[in-house]
């Protein structure tokens, strides 16, 4: 008996941010929900709602506490302060300013809680050292940064406070951080950060509509079972409940979730129909006046199941005798293909040495601190659907139109939200289909914010999950001649994006090495787990992991140094563009020099001595090494090897609109929303340099899906390749027109006009000038100054073509072109292992990174540090672990372990710039090469620390417990 149905209420009065506040709340309502929903302070965020992540930190009577673990009624009569108390975007307090200036965030979602923890620290310790800062912030998790930026910001804030700095009035503008151009290549603090530090980001949970209903799911407790009956009567009559939606209602109103594979008998709806195929699968959705009531009623839905055998292990799943999840499909194989490039068997037959190993890359993922959320509104009068969601799914409006059976021009997907982290996984397709469908069914706006359990168990947000059997043929010098790779990927219960992630690695399957022959046997297995989403690298990371592990293995067996064997196999700088056996073409790079720099910066000549010194103080020290490729700027055509259904696009375009208004201000409209990548800042930098104007003049707007901006969103690490192309193309049209108008005004030929410093000047008579503002005015108001046939106004759009031409793959799966750019990085982590407890501690971390021309170093560095953070997680801590019954054992932040300030060491990063030939600013992708090289490098370091034991580490994550087993031969 869980209390009565009537909601006990409590009247509370407290001091919130220095002001008296009074409200009546349900006694069970948390302080977190109360300050956000009743008291209008949305800077405090929900991350886990069980006290682990720190996003919801507030000060209670001056001390930092978790507001998700405090009932609002407990704050009655107390003093509560949230991030909003420290300053506003126009008037940042010293802590906020320090976080913004140091770019101590990307998505900004964890930032308010982090700042409140720092405020608590600085109140009692005004001059903390690094260790004290790290300890004080260890209960605040961040997925975007590497924490270093945050530690720096706290140090900086301590200095500002010590100097007596008080909030100063300053508009939230890019110029605040950088006066005078050029802007490309500068360490400019992102303009977005100023709203984030003030708690003024607009995330999906901050967005609401009048009369909105809230949704919660009923989830399957079993991994595989037939649904015999569902009784919703108790739930439906529960006060405050509006509807209980079941899977059986959906086929009448929506199409199944699209799956990119030719598997018509794997039918996927957001709610289970006749069967559940994994523990956590959504069986029903309860819609109610608030989320509390929706969760109450979800417990009252009674489902009767007939248990079937769970399908947990991917290798067992593909055996003929395994229980089948989708009976009509006939097996648990979603996709299988053997791709052979070059003389693989012949090479193995003649090889001097053949090495083989089995590797296991276990399930982990981006796990952003903001869960997925969506708000949908069906406008029955206009027969139009509007959707707001914390997503980064390319062309979701097209999928929605198909699934909802609506014309595309009756769908408006808004794109102006701040997304609280993604790292690829914020797709939420089934969430969006369900929320929109339910809104249309009920004729009411519906809000669905996943809670952490929904997110972890059933949000389709898991990353790749693979078993690899790898064979390598090489000569006596360690030169690799062929690879034979068999990979079984655990896709989850429906195809999702698993199979696509399994195929992407063919774009860089040989890494940075000259390997002439490769076989890739890819099997996508259906299992009793939630589905995969794209995760940082789109399936590339495990492929890089096993290759690097194999290179280490060969080095060890042949007695060759790990750096030396890599050097011997590297593609050389004069060989670019270089075509690998799969047909993918690498654009540029200089691998040897990056390796050389990495060895120098990590002082490789002192490694032996450091090892000896560590031994003397009772520790085993290990140095890791990985050299990994990051393909950037995705091409859809790679996926065409998966079958004819995928040969549906041969470009991957991006559009933009530039509007220079009558007052001379520039609005650049992009068509997607960002998850912390700082596109408002980089796009402003590009526009400032292109037009030679100051950042105050530039604003970045985000168009919804009905405004005609062609976009493929943030995916495949492509926008900093595509945005310059699109922006410069649209900008060119406007600049040409302005030059013509200036020429008309000055009565000189247009080709003599040049634009510099905000003035259009006659090159032959510098006295003849007209200002930017004047030309803008003429463009809108002086028809007589327009050239014949010229339209008034300064507005231009452009859609940039992908710089690589796309050609369909050959029937045997050879692709042409591959990705647009190939970034390279070298990681050298240093670990210390305790010989008795086998605890693993990262003590140092070195990275050399070549992503071509860097548009904003502050941001690129943060991508890299944050990537290392996630890579440390995947290597040492994070795993979605299932038991043999298919129960997810790590669905809370108590069990799924995200690295904190204490697990991520200081990272030393050195940039090397090999400009990308296919891009106007020379930029390459920068989002994945912090993450992808980290797991192989860290595992290499751990193995190195244990080299006297001859232990071979094949699986991720490697934990002290696993090391204990390996060392003891278990």
Partner 1 sequence: MKPPIFDYVTAESREHALAVLRSHGDDAKVLAGGQSLVPLMSFRLAKPAVLLDINRLEGLDSIEASDGSMRIGALTRQCELLTHPLIAEHCPLVRAAAEFIGHPAIRNRGTVGGSVAHADPAAELPVLLQILDAGIELCAAGSQRTVPADDFFMGLLMTGMNPDELLTGISFPLPGKGSGWGFHEVARRHGDFALVAAAALITLDDRGAVAGAAVALGGIGDRPVRVVAAEETLKGNRPTPETIQAASHEVDGAVTPVGDIHASEAYRAHLGQVLTKRAVHDAVERARAS
Binding positions for partner 1, rule: CB under 8 A: 1-5, 7-8, 10, 26-28, 30, 33, 49-51, 54, 57, 60, 63-66, 68-71, 73-74, 117, 120-121, 135-136, 138-140, 291-292, 295-296, 299, 451-453, 836-837, 839, 877, 881, 889-890, 892, 894-895, 897, 899-900, 902-903, 959-961, 964-965, 968, 970
99 neighbors 115 (Cβ within 8 angstroms): yes
Task: List CB contacts of 753: < 8 A, sequence separation 6 or more.
Answer: 739, 742, 743, 746, 760, 761, 762, 763
Provide, rounded to whole angstroms, the least separation between the CB of residue 57 and partner 1.
Answer: 6
Dihedral sign computed on CA atoms, order 198, 202, 208, 209: positive
User: Looking at beta carbons only, is 72 or 854 nearer to partner 1?
Assistant: 72
Provide, rounded to whole angstroms, the least separation between the CB of residue 497 and partner 1.
Answer: 26
Closest among 500, 255, 239, 252 to 399, alpha carbons compared: 255
Provide, rounded to whole angstroms, the least separation between the CB of residue 65 and partner 1.
Answer: 5
DSSP H helices in 520-632: 540-558, 562-569, 591-601, 607-616
User: Looking at beta carbons only, is 6 or 19 nearer to partner 1?
Assistant: 6
The percent of the chain in helix, strand and coil, each rounded to the nearest 5, is 30, 25, 45
User: Looking at beta carbons only, is 752 or 841 nearer to partner 1?
Assistant: 841
Provide, rounded to whole angstroms, the least separation between the CB of residue 970 and partner 1.
Answer: 7
User: Looking at beta carbons only, is 223 or 629 nearer to partner 1?
Assistant: 223
780 neighbors 774 (Cβ within 8 angstroms): no
User: Looking at beta carbons only, is 32 or 98 nearer to partner 1?
Assistant: 32
Q: What are phi and psi of 199, to 5 degrees?
A: 75, 25
User: Looking at beta carbons only, is 408 or 894 nearer to partner 1?
Assistant: 894
User: Looking at beta carbons only, is 309 or 960 nearer to partner 1?
Assistant: 960
Residue in the structure block whose two tokens are 């009569």: 77
Provide, rounded to whole angstroms, the least separation between the CB of residue 463 and partner 1.
Answer: 18
| DSSP letter for each residue of 346-411 | HHHHH-SEEEEEEEEE-------SS--EEEEEEETTTTEEEEEES---TTHHHHHHHHHT--GGGE
213 neighbors 442 (Cβ within 8 angstroms): yes
User: Looking at beta carbons only, is 631 or 899 nearer to partner 1?
Assistant: 899
User: Looking at beta carbons only, is 30 or 627 nearer to partner 1?
Assistant: 30
Task: List CB contacts of 32: < 8 A, sequence separation 6 or more.
Answer: 44, 46, 49, 56, 67, 68, 70
User: Looking at beta carbons only, is 117 or 599 nearer to partner 1?
Assistant: 117
Residue in the structure block whose two tokens are 């009035």: 169
User: Looking at beta carbons only, is 168 or 894 nearer to partner 1?
Assistant: 894
User: Looking at beta carbons only, is 686 or 872 nearer to partner 1?
Assistant: 872
Torsion angle of the four alpha carbons 550, 552, 553, 556, in this order, in degrees rounded to the nearest 10: 160
Provide, rounded to whole angstroms, the least separation between the CB of residue 66 and partner 1.
Answer: 5
Provide, rounded to whole angstroms, the least separation between the CB of residue 760 and partner 1.
Answer: 57
Provide, rounded to whole angstroms, the least separation between the CB of residue 596 and partner 1.
Answer: 35
Closest among 504, 747, 494 to 635, alpha carbons compared: 504
Task: List CB contacts of 69: < 8 A, sequence separation 6 or more.
Answer: 30, 50, 51
Q: Provide the β-strand partners of residue 907.
A: 845
Provide, rounded to whole angstroms, the least separation between the CB of residue 2 and partner 1.
Answer: 4
Provide, rounded to whole angstroms, the least separation between the CB of residue 243 and partner 1.
Answer: 19
Buried b (16+ CB within 10 A) or exposed e, 643-679: eeebeebebbbbbbbbbbbeebebbbbbbbbbbbbbb
Closest among 940, 965, 964, 967 to 954, alpha carbons compared: 940
Dihedral sign computed on CA atoms, order 438, 442, 445, 450: negative
Q: Provide the β-strand partners of residue 26.
A: 9
User: Looking at beta carbons only, is 88 or 949 nearer to partner 1?
Assistant: 949
User: Looking at beta carbons only, is 620 or 824 nearer to partner 1?
Assistant: 620
| Rounded Cα distance, 908 and 925, in Å | 20
User: Looking at beta carbons only, is 63 or 763 nearer to partner 1?
Assistant: 63
Provide, rounded to whole angstroms, the least separation between the CB of residue 220 and partner 1.
Answer: 16
923 neighbors 852 (Cβ within 8 angstroms): yes
- Ramachandran area for residue 305 (φ above 0: left; ψ -120 to 50: alpha; else beta): beta
| DSSP letter for each residue of 453-484 | HHHHHHSS-B---EEEEEEEEE-TT--EEEEE
Provide, rounded to whole angstroms, the least separation between the CB of residue 64 and partner 1.
Answer: 5
Provide, rounded to whole angstroms, the least separation between the CB of residue 835 and partner 1.
Answer: 10
| Rounded Cα distance, 151 and 937, in Å | 24
Residue 321, CA distances (Å) to 277, 309, 311, 327 in order: 17, 11, 11, 13
User: Looking at beta carbons only, is 52 or 730 nearer to partner 1?
Assistant: 52
Provide, rounded to whole angstroms, the least separation between the CB of residue 718 and partner 1.
Answer: 34
| Rounded Cα distance, 339 and 564, in Å | 30
Q: What are phi and psi of 845, to 5 degrees?
A: -155, 125
User: Looking at beta carbons only, is 62 or 749 nearer to partner 1?
Assistant: 62
Provide, rounded to whole angstroms, the least separation between the CB of residue 136 and partner 1.
Answer: 6
Provide, rounded to whole angstroms, the least separation between the CB of residue 234 and partner 1.
Answer: 15
Q: Which helix (H) or strand (E) holds 438?
A: helix 429-442
User: Looking at beta carbons only, is 26 or 716 nearer to partner 1?
Assistant: 26
* Burial grade of 48 (CB within 10 A; 0-12, 13-18, 19 or more): buried
853 neighbors 913 (Cβ within 8 angstroms): yes
Provide, rounded to whole angstroms, the least separation between the CB of residue 299 and partner 1.
Answer: 7
Provide, rounded to whole angstroms, the least separation between the CB of residue 120 and partner 1.
Answer: 6
| Rounded Cα distance, 923 and 859, in Å | 13
């Amino acid at each position: 008996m869980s209390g009565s149905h009537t909601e006990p209420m409590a009247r509370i009065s407290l001091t919130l941010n220095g002001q008296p506040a009074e409200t009546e709340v349900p006694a069970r309502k948390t302080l977190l929900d109360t300050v956000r929903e009743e008291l209008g302070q949305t800077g405090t965020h929900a991350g886990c709602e069980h006290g682990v992540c720190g996003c919801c930190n507030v000060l209670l009577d001056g001390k930092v506490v978790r507001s998700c673990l405090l009932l609002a009624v407990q704050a009655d009569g107390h003093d509560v302060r949230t991030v909003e108390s420290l300053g506003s975007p126009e008037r940042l307090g010293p802590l906020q300013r320090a976080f913004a200036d140091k770019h101590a965030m990307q998505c900004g979602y964890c930032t308010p809680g982090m700042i409140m923890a720092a405020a608590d620290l600085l109140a009692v310790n005004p001059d903390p050292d690094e260790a004290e800062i790290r300890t004080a912030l260890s209960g605040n998790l961040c997925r975007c940064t590497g924490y270093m930026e945050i530690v720096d910001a706290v140090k900086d804030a301590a200095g500002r406070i010590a100097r007596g700095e008080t909030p100063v009035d300053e508009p939230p503008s890019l110029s605040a951080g950088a006066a005078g151009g050029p802007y490309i290549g500068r360490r400019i603090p992102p303009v977005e950060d100023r709203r984030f530090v003030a708690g003024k980001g607009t995330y999906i949970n901050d967005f609401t509509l009048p009369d909105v209903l809230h949704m919660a799911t009923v989830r399957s407790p079993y991994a595989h079972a037939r649904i015999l009956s569902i009784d919703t009567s108790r739930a439906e009559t529960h006060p405050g409940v509006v509807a209980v939606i079941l899977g059986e209602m959906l086929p009448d109103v929506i199409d199944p979730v699209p799956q990119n594979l030719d598997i018509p008998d794997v039918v996927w709806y957001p709610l289970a129909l006749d069967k559940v195929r994994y523990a956590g699968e959504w069986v029903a959705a309860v819609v109610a006046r608030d989320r509390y009531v929706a969760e109450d009623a979800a417990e009252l839905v009674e489902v009767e199941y007939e248990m079937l055998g769970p399908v947990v292990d991917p290798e067992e799943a593909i055996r003929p005798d395994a229980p089948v999840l989708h009976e009509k499909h006939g097996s648990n194989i979603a996709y299988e293909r053997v791709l052979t490039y070059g003389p693989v068997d012949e090479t193995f037959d003649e090889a001097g040495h053949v090495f083989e190993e089995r590797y296991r890359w276990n399930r982990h993922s981006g796990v952003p601190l903001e869960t997925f959320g969506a708000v949908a509104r069906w406008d029955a009068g206009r027969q139009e659907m509007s959707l707001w969601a914390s997503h980064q799914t390319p062309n979701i409006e097209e999928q929605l139109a198909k699934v909802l059976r609506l014309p595309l021009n009756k769908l408006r997907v808004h794109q102006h939200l701040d997304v609280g982290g993604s790292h690829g996984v914020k797709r939420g397709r089934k969430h969006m289909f369900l929320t929109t469908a339910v809104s249309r069914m009920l004729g009411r706006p519906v809000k669905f914010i996943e809670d952490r359990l929904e997110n972890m168990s059933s949000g389709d947000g898991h990353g790749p999950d693979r078993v690899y059997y790898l064979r390598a043929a090489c000569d006596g010098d360690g030169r690799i001649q062929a690879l034979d790779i068999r990979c079984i990927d655990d896709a989850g219960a429906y195809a999702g994006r698993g199979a696509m992630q399994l195929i992407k690695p063919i774009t860089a399957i040989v890494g940075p090495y000259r390997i002439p022959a490769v076989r890739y046997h890819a099997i996508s297995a259906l299992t009793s787990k939630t589905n995969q989403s794209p995760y940082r690298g789109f399936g590339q990371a495990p492929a890089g992991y096993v290759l690097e592990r194999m290179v280490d293995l060969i080095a060890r067996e042949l007695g060759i140094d790990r750096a030396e064997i890599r050097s011997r196999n590297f593609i050389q700088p004069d060989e670019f563009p270089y075509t690998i056996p799969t047909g993918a073409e690498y654009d540029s790079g200089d691998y040897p020099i990056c390796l050389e720099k990495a060895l120098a910066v990590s002082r490789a000549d002192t490694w032996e001595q450091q090892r000896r010194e560590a031994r003397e103080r009772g520790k085993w020290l290990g140095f890791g090494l990985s050299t990994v490729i990051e393909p950037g700027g995705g091409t859809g055509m790679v996926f065409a090897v998966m079958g004819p259904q995928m040969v549906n696009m041969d470009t991957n375009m991006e559009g933009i609109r530039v509007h220079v208004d009558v007052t001379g201000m520039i609005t650049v409209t992009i068509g997607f929303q960002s998850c912390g990548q700082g596109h408002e800042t980089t796009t402003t930098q590009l526009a400032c340099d292109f037009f030679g104007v100051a950042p105050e003049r530039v604003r970045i707007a985000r168009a919804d899906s009905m405004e005609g901006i062609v976009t493929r969103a943030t995916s495949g690490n492509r926008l900093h390749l595509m945005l310059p192309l699109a922006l410069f193309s649209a900008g060119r049209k406007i600049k040409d027109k302005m030059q013509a108008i200036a020429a008309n005004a000055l009565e000189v030929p247009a080709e003599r006009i040049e634009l510099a410093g905000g003035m259009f000047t006659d090159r032959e008579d510098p006295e003849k000038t007209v200002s930017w503002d004047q030309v803008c005015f003429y463009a809108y108001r002086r028809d007589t100054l327009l050239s014949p046939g010229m339209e008034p106004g300064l507005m231009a759009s452009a859609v940039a073509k992908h710089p690589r031409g796309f050609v369909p793959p050959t029937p045997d799966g050879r692709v042409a072109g591959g990705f647009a750019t190939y970034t390279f990085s070298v990681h050298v982590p240093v670990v210390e292992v305790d010989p008795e407890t086998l605890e693993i501690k990262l003590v140092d971390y070195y990275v050399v990174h070549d992503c071509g021309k860097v548009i904003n170093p502050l941001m690129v560095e943060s991508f890299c540090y944050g990537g290392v953070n996630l890579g440390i997680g995947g290597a040492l801590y994070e795993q979605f672990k299932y038991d043999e019954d298919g129960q997810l054992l790590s669905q809370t932040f108590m069990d799924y372990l995200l690295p904190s300030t204490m697990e991520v060491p200081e990272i030393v990063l050195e940039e090397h710039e090999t400009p990308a030939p296919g891009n106007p600013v020379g930029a390459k992708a920068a989002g994945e090469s912090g993450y992808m090289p980290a797991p192989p490098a860290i595992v290499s370091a751990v193995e190195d620390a244990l080299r006297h034991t001859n232990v071979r580490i094949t699986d991720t994550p490697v934990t002290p417990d696993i090391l204990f087993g390996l060392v003891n031969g278990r």
